[in-house]
Structure 1
Amino acid sequence: GKSGGSYSDIFQGRLLSNGKLVAIREVRAHIFPEAELKKSIALELRIWSDLDHPNILPLLGFSMEFGPHPTFVTEWMSNGTVLDYVKANPEASILQLSIGIAAGLRYLHKREIVHADVKSSNVLVSPTGVPLLIDFGLSRLVIMSTREAGGTFRWMAYELCGGIPPEHWRDSIRTVATKETDVWAYGMTVLELLTKAYPYSHLKTDFQVFSAIGKGSLPQKPSNLKGSEENALWQYICCPCWSRTASRRPTMSELLEDLRDLEHSVSDMGNFLNIVP
Structure 2
Amino acid sequence: MDPRDFLRKLAEKASKFAINLDGRIERDQTPRARGGKAVVYRGTLLSEGTAVAVKAVIGATEVNMKDMKQVLREAHVWSKLDHPNVLPLLGITTEFDLTVSIVTTWMERGNARCFVQERHNDPRPLIGDIAAGLSYLHSHPKGPIIHADLKGDNVLIAQDGRALLTDFGLSIHLNSSFTMTTHLPCGGSLRWMAPELADSTEGMHATVESDIWSFGMTALVC
* TM-score with structure 2 setting the length: 0.72
Question: Aligned match of 2:167 in 135, 146, 162?
Answer: 135
Instruction: State the alpha-carbon separation in 2 of the partners of residues 86 and 53 from structure 1.
Output: 23
Question: How far has the Cα of 1:46 moved from its partner?
Answer: 1.4
Alpha-carbon displacement from aligned partner over 1:68-92 (angstroms, at most 9, x marks no partner) = 432011111111110111113x233
Q: Which residue of 1 aligns with 2:209?
A: 180
Question: How far has the Cα of 1:23 moved from its partner?
Answer: 0.6
Change (3 A) 1:130 1:78: same
Q: Which residue of 2 aligns with 1:160?
A: 197
Give SS of 1:50's match.
coil
Q: Structure 1: 5+ residue runs without aligned partners? A: 144-148, 165-171, 194-277
Percent of paired sites with the same residue: 41
Q: Which residue of 2 aligns with 1:107?
A: 136
Change (3 A) 1:180 1:78: same
**Counterpart amino acid of 2:84?**
P
Instruction: State the alpha-carbon separation in 1 of the partners of residues 59 and 205 from structure 2.
Output: 22
Instruction: State the alpha-carbon separation in 2 of the partners of residues 38 and 5 from structure 1.
Output: 16
The structure carrying a bigger helix percent of its residues is 1
**Counterpart amino acid of 1:59?**
L
**Preserved CA contact (<8 Å) 1:117 1:142:** no
Instruction: State the alpha-carbon separation in 2 of the partners of residues 183 and 103 from structure 1.
Output: 12
Give SS of 1:92's match.
coil
Change (3 A) 1:27 1:173: farther
Q: Does 1:93 align with 2:125?
A: no
Q: Which residue of 1 aligns with 2:51?
A: 21
Instruction: State the alpha-carbon separation in 2 of the partners of residues 41 and 77 from structure 1.
Output: 21
Instruction: State the alpha-carbon separation in 2 of the partners of residues 26 and 9 from structure 1.
Output: 5
**Preserved CA contact (<8 Å) 2:147 2:170:** no
Q: Which residue of 2 aligns with 1:198?
A: none
Question: How far has the Cα of 1:161 moved from its partner?
Answer: 2.5
Change (3 A) 1:124 1:107: same
Farther off after superposition, 14-23 or 132-141: 132-141
Question: How far has the Cα of 1:173 moved from its partner?
Answer: 5.8
**Preserved CA contact (<8 Å) 1:161 1:173:** no
**Preserved CA contact (<8 Å) 1:116 1:181:** yes
Alpha-carbon displacement from aligned partner over 1:226-250 (angstroms, at most 9, x marks no partner) = xxxxxxxxxxxxxxxxxxxxxxxxx
**Preserved CA contact (<8 Å) 1:29 1:37:** no
1:140-151 equivalences in 2 (<5 Å): 141=185, 143=187
Instruction: State the alpha-carbon separation in 2 of the partners of residues 119 and 7 from structure 1.
Output: 17
Give SS of 2:117's match.
helix
Instruction: State the alpha-carbon separation in 2 of the partners of residues 127 and 54 from structure 1.
Output: 13
Q: Which residue of 2 aligns with 1:255?
A: none
Instruction: State the alpha-carbon separation in 2 of the partners of residues 7 and 58 from structure 1.
Output: 21
**Counterpart amino acid of 1:67?**
D
Q: Structure 2: 5+ residue runs without aligned partners? A: 1-29, 172-183
**Counterpart amino acid of 2:213?**
W
The structure carrying a bigger strand percent of its residues is 2
- Equivalent residues, number: 176
* TM-score with structure 1 setting the length: 0.58
